[in-house]
Each structure stands twice: as structure tokens, then as C-alpha cells.
Amino acid sequence: MSNDFSIIGKPTAMVDAAEKTTGAGKYTDDLGLPGMLIGKILHAPYPHARIRQIDTSRAERLEGVVAVAVGGDAPNPYGILPVGHDEHALALDKVRYVGDNVACVVAASEAIAEKALELIDVDYEVLPAYFDPEESMKAETDLIHENKPHNLEKDYHHCFGDPDAGFAEADQVLEARFISNEVTHAAMEPHSTLASFELDPHTGKLGRLTVWSSTQVPYYLQHKLSLVLEMPMQQIRVIKPLVGGGFGGKSEVIPLEIIAAIAARKAKAPVKITYTREEVFWAHRGRPRTIIDLKTGVKKDGRITAVKARVVQDGGAYCSYGVVTILYSGALLGALYDIPNIQYDGYRVLTNKPACGAMRGHGTVNVRFAFESQLDELAAKIGMDPAEIRQRNLLQPPCITVNGLRVQSYGLPECIEKTVERSGWKQRKGKLGKGRGLGIACSHYVSGAANSIIRSDMPHSTVNIKIDRDGGVVVYTGASEIGQGSDTMTAQIAAETLGCSLSRVRVIAADTDLTPIDIGSYSSRVTFMAGNATLRAAVEVKKQIAAAAAKKMGCEVEELVFRDDEVKRARVGAGDSPAQGQPAQNPRGPNSRGPLFPQGSSSPPLVPSSSQHAEQASVSGRVEGQILRGSLQQKRKDEGLKDWMTFEEAVVAAIDFHGTLTGTGSYAPPQEARGGKHKGAGVGPSPAYSYSAQVAEVSVDEETGEVTVHKVWAAHDCGRALNPVSVEGQIIGSVWMGMGQALTEEMVWKDGMLMNPGLLEYRSPSSIESPAVEPIIVESIDPEGPFGAKECSEGSLAATIPAIANAIYDAVGVRLHESPFTPERVLAALRAKKSAKSLNLTEGVDPTAPERFREHGGVLLFKGKGPERHALDPARRASPAAVEGAD
């Protein structure tokens, strides 16, 4: 494939950048409609309770309240996965987590709505609740969902190859438990939805519904609205305005999106609901707390012989994407390294906490942390450099892994090489002095799932292109821009393919009335799938233009080159034999952009210099106007055959022939990439995988346990970087989010209550805590990606956590098995290493404290005497007989 591009591969400001930097762009909460009312949701105060009765009469009587919606107003169940329709927009008979949705008040103002919430009387019968997944799995009674015995959402047991033989053959085997605590997306824009019904002119009743929503998946939203509201899909229009970040948190239907529509129907007026930041934390759908029991065997030469993983995910109260998450955790043990034998046992467990769903690096991140940490430990055991052990286990693509994943382009070797080189790994590793170290880790991710969550043969992406007489290119795509650059990528691919300038292209995206179906922005699928669909649509239109242009130029279609807003015959280089028997002489020398002006014409040669072109085009636009361009074209016709045309002229020529130009392209993953036949084989396969290798440099304060990340070198194989500035932004953003999970971010639960539902308490890193990240782009040019491109927005995240963990080991010699690596956990590990005497700091605080702390992973155990406590510290009141906690 040629590398000579005019648009792609060049750092390009996003097409919507000015809207964002001037504040002119509209996000859902910035929208308003005449007569719009505000909705506020009443949330459950108990983690598990039966609703005996709801009395909304007092609230309804409050001046300014228009309606109060409850579960009975739209009782149909829904859920993002066809196998997981276990949610109701508003609870019917039971609430399953603190924050579950009970009722919605619609009022003239937010203040009135809030006051009305207090006037709703709900009679609850509190039920025993489950907070720890391993406890929850033992449940016999008071099940969270009656049809899920033992509160088990789903379990999978996969065995590929012969793991027992693999372990028998290994020279070193390690087995350990890893825990990754729960994290959430915390996108800057809180979820918001505005719903409005039109009156039907024929029936005079409520007719079509329009919903503006902060969503990554407008079409799924349209589908679920149709299900719950019992309206045909074609009566529902979903529009996605600007979205202020998603990271997976908006990749499924969030309750408020449906509640707003139910409320608008009941209030017979437009209703907007915007979550507060606290509600965003309750809505959650983030990465589940994951317990990973991992066993890996290697030979002395570093080759991995077998892997066995038992993964338990604390899924929260509803299915959400859970079945997919638990499958990804197992499937993506493959396709990074060559592992001949894999055993996987995955359990997705229900608990009385907000549902977990998809989050950046869906399903792979926590298991990758465990795997890469254990691989590092094994390298140390066999005395091999951690970078080298990774190089010893590379795949030999093209290949199909033992668990049925097809790998074609594979930039991992180059990623490792580059990151090792740039970080000075070989010279600096182990020589950074006390408390400072380097760690390496790798990761990968899908470029879109090869199998849609809805089982059907429909294309995953479809794109329409329309070009009219003005020469403007309008691309209609269902792909959802959420800040990752989807619209810009679409415009770039269309412009590159059509050989026109970026400013000519207008992208109309994510409006179910206007744009063809695209299943949404998740699983890093947009560049690969919507990009391919855009490419195909553009090629389709280009064919029509080329046919007309070739006719005008009296040449073959194949001779035409579309570039820089011109259509011209391919340059005839010196010594090449000219096509169509034209004379090969070129009076303007070899650098001239077009071939000869036809002989015999009396007019001067027509301008094959781009600056002159531009001038002429603008003059023609100004003087003659768009409508007259056809006649301009007519005039030129008399000038005989040409060997170049402006893009507009070529377009007009084609329109004269076809009418307005339209082209449709769609993409469905090829059958070979759709994976094996075993149960659960649908999740994991992708048409292409991205690869990432990272080195982190950290220092650890041995007094406080504080870890500082100084720099991360992150090499990422994105196939081809269509827009390098965006690719780098995605790599840095992924690494940064991984660092947040590694060091500070954690949802802390106590008895089903979230202890830190605020951005500062959740400890999203600020610029002070954020390291320099050096992104290194590796281009493996995928055979099926658009211009060779693959994903770049998620794959880098998973490597960061183990890279930091491994760097901590390099710095101070302790292995951390639980993330985030907070000062408490690092100190505990340091003290354990010194085998100092143990001390349980939580004893005496509350008799149930150790158990409760374990529930959210905060094992506050210290070995040894521990730091001197303040005189009033509750821990000093501890009885000396208190038992030592478990490790």
C-alpha cells in the first residue's frame, strides 16, 4: 500500500475542536426546549429491599410538580445484552442497590423537584444483602434475582490444549491471588437526557419521540426505548449531541435515558434529567472488583507452557455487560503471547451494589495486571530479563491462537523493542538507585468485537455519502463521537479517498433519523469498522465521479488520480510510455503536475499549478455562483479534452449524468475472524488486535509507602496512525487512566454504600500527580483495517498497571498483588518483606471491621509494631487479645 497520503497520517485538529474550545458546542445538558421540565430521580436508600408500597400523592400535590413516574408506568424489562434483560427503568417490586431507581418527579424547576422527592413515601421491607462476591456465591436465600441461583450471573469453564501436561513440563510454576479493586469511568460530563414527544397531527395524541442523550450507543438506546415504551423504533429518534467522555460508561442504556422518556410521556412535556456527580457514581457500570487466582508455568528458556486462571468478578446488582466482561477476561489471555495451554474458570457474581459494565479495556485490564505481574516474577525466578521473557513468547502471525482468535498484523515485537530502546532499559534497569525502578509490561485489545452483542447478520457499520452540485461532501454515519475523534477520522478517510480537502467534508453523525445504523462507540470498533464503511462509501461515490471525469478527459478510469481537490490523469513520468497514445513530452518539465494540454487548442494551457487552481476556483465560485458551475463546465466542454479537472467540475460532470451522487458502504467482520465454536466463543474475536508495550519509571518512598510515577514510555501498535495527534492523545489518555487505577482510584464500599462518590474523594489524578508519557506509535499496517489502521484508544491502558507494579518491585523488591497501590498497601508489603511483627491496625475500631474492609479490598494489615498512633486514635483502644487478620 502506498504511503503517499495527502490527509491521513498528518496531525489534524479535530473537526469539532473550535466548538469545544470556544464553548459554542452543545452537550445534552446545554440544550433546552420551550416548556421543558426538569426530572429528578428518587433513589433507593437500602442495598436490598422489597417495595411494599409507594405513595406519591404528597409529592404530586406540591405546587410546581407536574407528574411523578413510578415503575408501573413502564414495566417492561430491558438490559444491554439480549441475555440480560433484568433491569427496570424504575423499580417494580424490589431495589437491589443503594441508588437503585424508584421514582421520578417532573417539576418546573430542579429545586421544586428536589423538594418533591422528600414527599414521596416508600415502604420498604429490608432484605439481607450481599456485598462480597465470594460470600454472595454461597447464597441460598434472598437471592438478588430469583432466576439466578447462588447469585451467579454466569460462569464459564474453558480448557484449551492440555494445561496439566503444560504445567508438568514447566520448570517454574507460580500461583497467586491478585485483586483489582473497583474503578469507574467518571467521565467529565455527567449523564444527561432530554426527551420530547411530538403531537401526532392525525390522532392528536402523543406521537413521535425525540431523545437527545449523552450516549455512546444511540441505536441501542433507540432499541431499548422501543422495548420499554412499547413504541416502534421508527417512531423514536435518538440524537447524540457532543458527549463529554464515555470510557464505556455511556456504552449501554443508563436508567435516566429511559426514565426521561417515561417522564416526558407522563408529564406530556419535554423533560430533561441530568445526573449530579454523585448520581454518576451510583449509575456506575465501571470495572468490577476482580479476584484472580492465577497459575503460570514457564520453561527455563522463558517459554510459557500453561496458564490457569480462576476469575471472580463482583458484578453488582444487574447483568449489564457482565457476561461479556467475564468472557473477555478469559478470551484475552490469548492473542498477546503464544500460550499453548489455557484453562479458564470465570464467575460473574451478583452483589447488592451498582452494576458494573464496560470500561476502557473491557474485561482484559485486571487479568492483564495479574498475568504481567506473575510473568515478571517468573522471569526473576529463571534469571531472565523481563523484556526478554516477553520476546520469547511472541506469536508467529498470521495465526489462530489456541482459543480461536485470528491474529494478522502483530506489532508487539517492535513495541517491545522501541520501548526498551527509548527508556534506556538495558543501560538503566537496576541502576537507578535506592527506591527507584523500571518495570515493563505488555497488553493488547480488540479493534471492535467480531460478533455483535445482537445476534444478527447485519453490518456493524454503514455509512452514506452525499455529494451535490456545490461539491460539498456530506458523510452520514451512525458512529458516535465521544471525544475520541470519530468524526475527524470519518472526515479524513472520506477526504483522502475522494482526494478532496478536509474542509469540503461535513460529517453528520449519530442521529437515528438521518444516519445509517452503526452499533456504537465501544470495544474500540469505530476506526476499524466505521472507518472501513466510510472508505467503501467513498470508493462507491468516487467510482461515479471517475466514470464521468474519464469520459470528459477521454481516458480510462484507472488513469485518474484524485488528490488536492483535483482529478487528473496520472502523471506520466519521464521514460514511461504515455497512456492513450498521447505524446510523452512535457513542456513544463518533470515537476509539472499535469500532463500536456491537448494539442491544437488556442487557449493558453489551463493552469496545472495548485495555487492558480485555488484562485480560479474561488473566482468561479464568487463570480458565477454555484448554480452556474454547470454552465461553466459546459463552456469548458468546448475547449476540448482536458487532462485535469477541479473536484467540483468532476462532481458536476457526474451529477449531470447520475443526479445527486450518493454512495453507501458497510462493514461486517469476515467469517474467519469470528472465533471458535465453544460456548462463549463469540467474545474475544476481533478482525484485528492492537498491541502495546510500556516501561514505567517509578520511585517509592519507603517511609510513607507513596509511589510516584515519573515517566511512562508507551509504544502502541495502531496499524496506521490516521491522525497522529489523536493517536498520541489516546495512548497518553489510556496510560494516564491506567495509572489512576494503579495508584489512587478506587470505589470504596461499606455495606453497599459508596464511601467516596466525588471526584476528589475518588482521587482522579490531577496534573500534579500525572507523569510525563512518551507515546511511541508503531504502525504494523493491518491488511483489513482502513488504510491499515487498528484501534488505539483502549489497548494501552492494561499495560500501565502491571508496568507500575513491576517497577515498584524493581525499586523496592515487593510484589503488590492488589490494586490500587496505595501507601497503606505498599507499606504493608514493605513491612511484610522485612518480616517485622504483625499488627492489625483495624482491630478495635469496630468488631466487624476486618471483614467489612475486606469487602472493598482495603486490607489494612501491617506487620510489626506499626507507626506510632495519635493519643486519641481509636486503634490505641484496641484490646491486645484481638486476633491477627488473614493475609
**Site residues (vs another protein, CB under 8 A):** 11, 13-14, 16-27, 29-30, 32, 185-190, 242-247, 274, 276-278, 482-485, 725-726, 728-729, 732-733, 735-737, 758-760, 764, 766-768, 770, 772-773
Closest CA to 647 of 720, 562, 584, 726: 562
Cβ at position 713, least distance to another protein in Å: 13
- The CA-atom distances, in angstroms, between 113 and each of 34, 39, 107, 108, 264 are 18, 7, 5, 7, 14
d(CA 839, CA 527): 53
Cβ at position 765, least distance to another protein in Å: 8
- Between residues 360 and 642, which has the closer beta carbon with respect to another protein? 360
Bridge partners for 343 per DSSP: 159, 308
Interhelix angle for 365-382 vs 797-812, to 10°? 40
- Residue that the C-alpha cell 528458556 belongs to: 301
Cβ at position 567, least distance to another protein in Å: 30
DSSP character for 866? -
- The CA-atom distances, in angstroms, between 275 and each of 196, 334, 616 are 18, 39, 53
Interhelix angle for 647-658 vs 531-553, to 10°? 90
Cβ at position 243, least distance to another protein in Å: 7
- Between residues 76 and 770, which has the closer beta carbon with respect to another protein? 770
- Between residues 216 and 690, which has the closer beta carbon with respect to another protein? 216
- Between residues 14 and 179, which has the closer beta carbon with respect to another protein? 14
Closest CA to 686 of 451, 486, 399: 451
Cβ at position 29, least distance to another protein in Å: 7
Burial class, 53, CB count within 10 angstroms (exposed 0-12 / middle 13-18 / buried 19+): exposed
Q: Are 8 and 787 in contact (CB under 8 A)?
A: yes
DSSP character for 649? H
- Between residues 177 and 277, which has the closer beta carbon with respect to another protein? 277
Give 726's contacts (C-beta < 8 A, 6+ positions apart).
12, 14, 484, 485, 488, 489, 792
Cβ at position 760, least distance to another protein in Å: 5
Burial class, 349, CB count within 10 angstroms (exposed 0-12 / middle 13-18 / buried 19+): buried
d(CA 84, CA 145): 11
- Between residues 668 and 797, which has the closer beta carbon with respect to another protein? 797
d(CA 33, CA 211): 12
- Between residues 24 and 619, which has the closer beta carbon with respect to another protein? 24
Q: Are 274 and 213 in contact (CB under 8 A)?
A: no
- Between residues 19 and 703, which has the closer beta carbon with respect to another protein? 19
Cβ at position 835, least distance to another protein in Å: 38
How are beta strands 65-70 and 101-107 bridged, if at all?
antiparallel
- Between residues 43 and 308, which has the closer beta carbon with respect to another protein? 43
Cβ at position 603, least distance to another protein in Å: 40
- Between residues 199 and 772, which has the closer beta carbon with respect to another protein? 772
Q: Are 181 and 857 in contact (CB under 8 A)?
A: yes
- Between residues 111 and 126, which has the closer beta carbon with respect to another protein? 111
- Between residues 482 and 553, which has the closer beta carbon with respect to another protein? 482
- Between residues 170 and 695, which has the closer beta carbon with respect to another protein? 695
- Between residues 13 and 454, which has the closer beta carbon with respect to another protein? 13
d(CA 734, CA 713): 12
Closest CA to 347 of 329, 364, 372: 329
- The CA-atom distances, in angstroms, between 844 and each of 388, 446, 677, 841, 875 are 48, 48, 54, 8, 6
- Between residues 26 and 431, which has the closer beta carbon with respect to another protein? 26
Cβ at position 706, least distance to another protein in Å: 17
Cβ at position 773, least distance to another protein in Å: 5
d(CA 716, CA 724): 12
742 grid coordinates: 494503579
Cβ at position 360, least distance to another protein in Å: 10
Buried b (16+ CB within 10 A) or exposed e, 531-551: bbbbbbbbebbbebbbbbbbe
Burial class, 234, CB count within 10 angstroms (exposed 0-12 / middle 13-18 / buried 19+): exposed
Q: Are 714 and 731 in contact (CB under 8 A)?
A: yes
Cβ at position 483, least distance to another protein in Å: 3
- Between residues 156 and 736, which has the closer beta carbon with respect to another protein? 736
Cβ at position 358, least distance to another protein in Å: 16
| Total length of the chain | 887
Closest CA to 101 of 110, 111, 92, 91: 91
Angle, CA 710 vertex, CA 708 and CA 711 arms, to 5°: 135
Cβ at position 30, least distance to another protein in Å: 4
DSSP result, 179-197: EE--B----SSPPEEEEEE
- Between residues 110 and 293, which has the closer beta carbon with respect to another protein? 110
- Between residues 27 and 219, which has the closer beta carbon with respect to another protein? 27
How are beta strands 566-569 and 560-563 bridged, if at all?
antiparallel
Cβ at position 46, least distance to another protein in Å: 24
Cβ at position 163, least distance to another protein in Å: 38
Cβ at position 739, least distance to another protein in Å: 8
Cα dihedral 871/875/876/877 (nearest 10): 120
Cβ at position 758, least distance to another protein in Å: 6
